[in-house]
Amino acid sequence: MRVLRVFNNNVVLARDDAGRDVILTGRGLGYQARPGREVDPVAVQRTFVPVDGRDPDHLAELLASIPPEHIQLVGEALTEVGLDDTVLRNPALVVALADHISFAVRRLEHGLIIEYPLLGEVKNLYSREYAQALTLLAAVNDRLETQLPDGEAVALALHLVNAGFSTGDLSYTYTMTAVISQLIEVIELTFDVRLDEGSVSVGRFITHLRYLFVRIQQHQQLTDQPSVIGTAIKESYPQAAECAERLAGILELRLGSPLTSDETSYLALHVARVANDTI
């Protein structure tokens, strides 16, 4: 394999012997590496092969923003709980889970604890994935000094569910693309910022929207009353909450379905993150 691009000391984009662009991770793998050079196979800890037309450069950029120890522990935890086949079908799942775990650890370090009010829905709608998430959370906590709360199993379960989402309706894909651009424009006007649609933070926001669109299409929006997290987010990020209400109105107009209060609350959390990138 030869190096195509170096993202940091631990992440490189390479081309394998089959002619595929692959993302390689490993401590020191990118140190003094240069495009065109052979990859040291001994230094490679994990190989990611983008699927479903995913942009390998963007996926690698996201990987480079995650501490390598979090990527490694998530990979080990997935293997321990027997989710190897799921990862092989969708290697981006490791990236999504590692990004979530890393964010959750940082939240705890800053004293921000989120109580997910979706336990009942996740248990009922996605019982298999929730059971897997409980086991996965235990395996993750075995490898962390900072113990994540039990509620994180809800979020992990949703990541497992989202890994299996797909839609072949191109017209809906076109609609989603147009709506995403409109929502980003509203955020920019609200916060007086210019967002880079190729950045990691905006990429995370778009991923959240894609999964939200699928839930809307499948009539499986997240609901729980009263919404504890909604109140907490409104108090912590009032401007983001107001912006999310405007975005919810646009989504209802464009997609023909109103957002539930919980979906709007989670949308507000992602708006705060993409606008400030400090929460």
- Beta pairing partners, 14: 3, 22
Q: Say if residue 227's pLDDT is above 80.
A: no
Confidence of residue 167 (pLDDT cuts 50, 70, 90): very low
Contacts of 111-117 with CB under 8 Å at 24 or more apart are 112/236, 112/279, 113/149, 114/151, 114/229, 114/232, 115/151, 115/228, 115/229, 115/232, 116/151, 116/152, 116/154, 116/155, 116/229, 117/224, 117/227, 117/228, 117/229, 117/262
Comparing 14-18, 72-76, 136-140, 158-162, the range with the smallest average pLDDT is: 158-162
pLDDT at 277: 72
Q: Are 123 and 95 in contact (CB under 8 A)?
A: no
248 or 123, higher pLDDT: 248
Distance between CA atoms of 148 and 182, rounded to whole angstroms? 35
The answer, as to whether pTM is greater than 0.75, is no
From edge to edge, which strands make up the β-sheet containing 46-48? 2-8, 11-15, 21-25, 46-48
pLDDT at 169: 47
Comparing 220-234, 241-255, 263-277, the range with the smallest average pLDDT is: 220-234
